[in-house]
């Protein structure tokens, strides 16, 4: 076991001390802190740049009473823009909009039958002042028609009162909207972390093995330690590095969320108070299982190449598998009860993402995630046994790597 721990320590410490790993971890931690305080950052930037000031909408309007009515509604509803009355004619305003001297303007008219007609012209594709102005004009239009029909304010409110409609899920395992919304965000974040970690660390293992082969260091290593010990020491060593990095990111996220300066509904939403703690437990379990599954496969594939340049080509099938799993899992965030998601969640190479998504968004019977975990453990065991046989011969193979057909040659070489 002494040789195993030496290789384990070397695999862990070599990568942990690299500048790229340290810088990447720090950037990701800062990114988490920034995202949890994004609303505060936006407000601060708006204050510094002055962009937080209310916009002004120019109105081309002849009726003084109508202009005052619009201004009154604007103040009552506390919209984030103000209005001013245009002094130019319509063509002059159009020219100013085209020359970017004016963001937008609206022409509002009152017809002879007391109907409001408005034309909103803007040069921006992301301008929401038009919709807010339409809301104000609709309220004024309703008041005028109610006055014409001699309706009281109470009668108008009764006329436009929304239907009281409440949807209830009578299932004992149903989640509330708050629980489902928070769970969806948390599942998305953890799914991305699993996807990121599997691709990053699996590729790291394959590259490490190929590097040692290309530098002929492998020949010295396997003369003093068995290829099987070497493979699993690499897998576990870099896996521990990934766990340390995920713990750092998780602690940063937890502290950032708990100390976030975000207030109101967004602040409460970010506390994830309605999320089932088992979601986090399953996140850890499927992260570990997904890593060891793909890491063992990566070590197997990495042992077949002799040049670092060939690594990406060799692990491409593995990368495609995890990308497909991520796409399938993402498609289920909107509706996790789709039939194909259930079947995909039991396919071991899709399970870490798809089953985790289902567990996070649905209250599944205990046997479903346990069955998926059992399938993954059996698959990891089989892949580890098969990978050890391939690895034993693969590390001794040199020359150009042709394709996955080299697996058969590696097994035969390992028997000799």
Residue 415 pLDDT exceeds 60: no
Looking at the structure, do residues 79 and 197 belong to the same domain, yes or no?
Answer: no
Q: Where is 152: in which H helix or E strand?
A: none
Q: How far apart are the C-alpha atoms of 235 and 298, rounded to whole Å? A: 9
Asked if residue 112 is part of any domain, the answer here is yes
What is the pLDDT at residue 263? 47
* The predicted structure's pLDDT at residue 269: 45
**Rounded Cα–Cα distance for residues 51 and 211 (Å):** 52
Task: Check whether residue 145 and residue 292 sit in a common domain.
Answer: no
The predicted pLDDT at position 260 comes to 66
pLDDT at 264 over 50: no
CA dihedral 150, 152, 155, 161 (to 10 degrees): 110
Q: What is the pLDDT of residues 178-195, one digit of tens each?
A: 566 667 777 777 788 778
Q: Are residues 301 and 188 in the same domain?
A: yes
Please indicate, yes or no, whether residues 273 and 409 belong to a single structural domain of this protein. yes
The pLDDT of residue 8: 79
The answer to whether residue 125 scores a pLDDT higher than 80 is no
pLDDT digits over 190-245, tens only?
788 778 877 888 778 777 777 766 665 555 565 666 766 777 787 888 888 888 88
Find out whether 69 and 63 touch, Cβ atoms under 8 Å. Answer: no
Q: Are residue 147 and residue 19 in the same domain, yes or no?
A: no
301 part of a folded domain: yes
Angle at 30 between CA 28 and CA 34, to 5 degrees: 115
- Distance between CA atoms of 260 and 267, rounded to whole angstroms? 7
Task: Quote the CA–CA distance of 357 and 32 in Å, as a whole number.
Answer: 21
Q: How far apart are CA 358 and CA 329, in angstroms?
A: 8
- CATH code: domain of residue 119: 3.40.190.10
Do 237 and 375 share a domain, yes or no?
yes
In a domain, residue 168? The reply is: no
Question: Tokens representing 141?
Answer: 């239009």
372: exposed, middle or buried (Cβ count in 10 Å: 0-12, 13-18, 19+): buried
Using a pLDDT cut of 70, give the percent of the chain over it.
75
Question: Count of CB atoms within 10 A of residue 363's CB?
Answer: 13
- Count of the separate structural domains present in the chain: 2
Encode pLDDT of 384-400 as tens digits.
Answer: 888 777 766 666 665 55
In this structure, the chain runs to a length of: 416
Structural domain includes residue 46: no
Within-domain flag for 284: yes
Structural domain ending residue among the three candidates 117, 151, 185: 151
Amino acid 218: pLDDT: 58
For 80, the domain range is 54-151
pLDDT digits (tens, 9 = 90+) for 148-176: 778 777 877 787 777 877 666 555 445 55
């Amino acid at each position: 076991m002494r040789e195993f721990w030496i290789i384990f320590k070397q695999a862990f410490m070599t990568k942990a001390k690299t500048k790229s790993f340290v810088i990447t971890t720090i950037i990701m931690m800062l990114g988490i802190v920034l995202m949890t305080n994004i609303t505060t950052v936006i407000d601060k930037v708006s204050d510094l740049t002055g962009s937080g000031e209310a916009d002004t909408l120019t109105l081309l309007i002849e009726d003084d009473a109508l202009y005052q009515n619009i201004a009154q509604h604007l103040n009552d509803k506390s919209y984030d823009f103000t209005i001013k009355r245009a002094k130019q004619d319509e063509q002059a305003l159009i020219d100013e909009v085209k020359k970017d001297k004016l963001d937008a303007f609206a022409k509002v008219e009152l017809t002879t039958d007391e109907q409001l007609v408005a034309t909103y012209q803007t040069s921006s594709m992301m301008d929401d002042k038009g919709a807010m102005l339409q809301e104000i004009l609709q309220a004024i239009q309703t008041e005028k028609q109610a006055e014409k029909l001699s309706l009281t304010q109470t009668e108008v409110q009764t006329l436009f009162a929304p239907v009281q409609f409440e949807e209830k899920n009578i299932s004992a395992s149903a989640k509330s909207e708050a629980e489902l919304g928070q769970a969806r965000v948390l599942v998305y974040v953890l799914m991305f972390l699993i996807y990121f970690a599997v691709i990053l660390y699996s590729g790291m293992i394959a590259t490490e093995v190929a590097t040692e082969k290309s530098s002929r260091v492998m020949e010295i290593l396997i003369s003093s330690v068995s290829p099987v010990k070497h493979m699993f020491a690499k897998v576990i060593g870099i896996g521990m590095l990934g766990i340390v990095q995920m713990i750092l990111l998780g602690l940063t996220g937890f502290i950032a969320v708990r100390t976030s300066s975000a207030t109101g509904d967004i602040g409460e939403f970010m506390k994830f108070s309605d999320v089932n703690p088992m979601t986090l437990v399953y996140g850890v379990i499927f992260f570990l299982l997904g890593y060891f599954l793909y890491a063992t496969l990566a070590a197997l594939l990495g042992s077949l190449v002799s040049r670092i340049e060939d690594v990406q080509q060799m692990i491409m099938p593995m990368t495609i598998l995890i990308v497909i799993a991520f796409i399938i899992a993402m498609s289920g965030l909107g509706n996790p009860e789709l039939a194909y998601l259930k079947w995909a969640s039991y396919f071991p190479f899709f399970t870490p993402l798809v089953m985790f998504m289902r567990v996070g968004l649905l209250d599944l019977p205990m046997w479903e995630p346990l069955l998926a975990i059992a399938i993954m453990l059996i698959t990891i065991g089989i892949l580890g046994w098969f990978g050890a046989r391939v690895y034993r011969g693969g590390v001794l193979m040199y020359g150009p790597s042709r394709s996955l057909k080299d697996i058969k040659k590696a097994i035969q070489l390992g028997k000799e």
